[in-house]
Amino acid sequence: MEKSIKFEKDLNLEATELRLGLPGTKESEKQTPSAIKSNKRVLPDMSEECGYEDNSNVSHVKKCDQEVAPPAKAQVVGWPPVRSYRKNCFQAKKMEAETTGMYVKVSMDGAPYLRKIDLKVYKGYPELLKALEDMFKFSVGKYSEREGYNGSEFVPTYEDKDGDWMLVGDVPWDMFISSCKRMRIMKGSEARGLGCAV
């Protein structure tokens, strides 16, 4: 389905994949196409030679032996040379972001009262839309980038940080949850107008 393929990309599974590998290896380079001008990358052989891909507890970096931390990411002690204070600041922020909920109000045209949902709970658009459909007893149409939601009176929209009303599904999931202030499920002619605009 077109919709699910689009969302698969948005889910950005590669970014959340657990693997052994020091930063800057092949995988991470794929995610920064804009940063690398030349089309020559560290050859796959290079990184394999360095033992980044193996699952053993000891990985070899060129000439040196190092101890590899057991968790999924292989980290060298004290590398990169970032002060612990700074590392702790960012770790704390990351953890904070991971644990606090992200509740937003959801209104539906014609419904007597609003609901609140925690965006953190959902891993992507399909889950979110399913939850909304269940909560408000409606069905949202088929999503396409060109036409928005087709085949339904209902269109999910959200207000972003700049105060603009946007169609749910256009931006990558991470960007959506960090910019979504509240949601509104539009209905009827108003909805169709938004669905056609790109």
Partner 1 sequence: MMNYFPDEVLEHVFDFVTSHRDRNAVSLVCKLWYRVERFSRQRVFIGNCYAISPERLIARFPGVKALTLKGKPHFADFNLVPQDWGGYVQPWIEALARSRIGLEELRLKRMVVSDESLDVLSRSFTNFKSLVLVSCEGFTTDGLAAIAANCRFLRELDLQENEIEEKKNHWLGCFPDSCTSLVSLNFACLKEINLAALERLVARNPNLKSLKLNRAVPIEALQRILMRAPQLVDLGTGSFVLDRDSDDSETYRKLKATIQKCRSIRNLSGFLEVAPRCLPAVYPICLNLTYLNLSYAAGIHGSELIKLIRFCGKLQRLWILDCIGDKGLEVVASTCKDLQELRVFPSDPFGAGHAAVTETGLVAISSGCPKLNSLLYFCQQMTNAALIAVAKNCTNFIRFRLCILDPAKPDPVTMQPLDEGFGAIVQSSKRIRRLSLSGLLTDRVFLYIGMYAEQLEMLSIAFAGDSDKGMLYVLNGCKKLRKLEIRDSPFGDMALLRDVGKYETMRSLWMSSCDVTLGGCKTLAKKMPRLNVEIINENDQMEFAHEDSQKVEKMYLYRTLVGPRKDAPEFVWTLV
Q: Which residues bind to partner 1, rule: CB under 8 A?
A: 14-15, 22-25, 27-29, 31-32, 34-38, 40-43, 46, 61-64, 66, 73, 75-87, 89-90, 93, 161-162, 178, 181
Q: Which residues are 59's β-sheet partners?
A: 66
Tokens of 115: 């609901």
The residue (of 133 and 177) whose beta carbon lies closer to partner 1 is: 177
* 13-50 per-residue burial string, b: 16 or more CB within 10 A, e: under 16: eeeeeeebbbeebbbeeeeeeeeeeeeeeeeeeebeeb
The residue (of 9 and 181) whose beta carbon lies closer to partner 1 is: 181
Nearest by Cα to 138 from 173, 100, 110: 110
Alpha-carbon separation of residue 83 from 95, 154, 176 (angstroms): 18, 51, 32
The residue (of 40 and 137) whose beta carbon lies closer to partner 1 is: 40
CB of 140 to partner 1, least distance (A): 25
Non-local CB neighbours of 93 within 8 Å, separated by 6+ positions: none
How far is Cα 22 from Cα 20, in angstroms, rounded to an integer?
A: 7
The residue (of 78 and 110) whose beta carbon lies closer to partner 1 is: 78
The residue (of 96 and 134) whose beta carbon lies closer to partner 1 is: 96
How far is Cα 12 from Cα 9, in angstroms, rounded to an integer?
A: 5
CB of 5 to partner 1, least distance (A): 21
CB of 154 to partner 1, least distance (A): 25
CB of 71 to partner 1, least distance (A): 10
CB of 58 to partner 1, least distance (A): 13
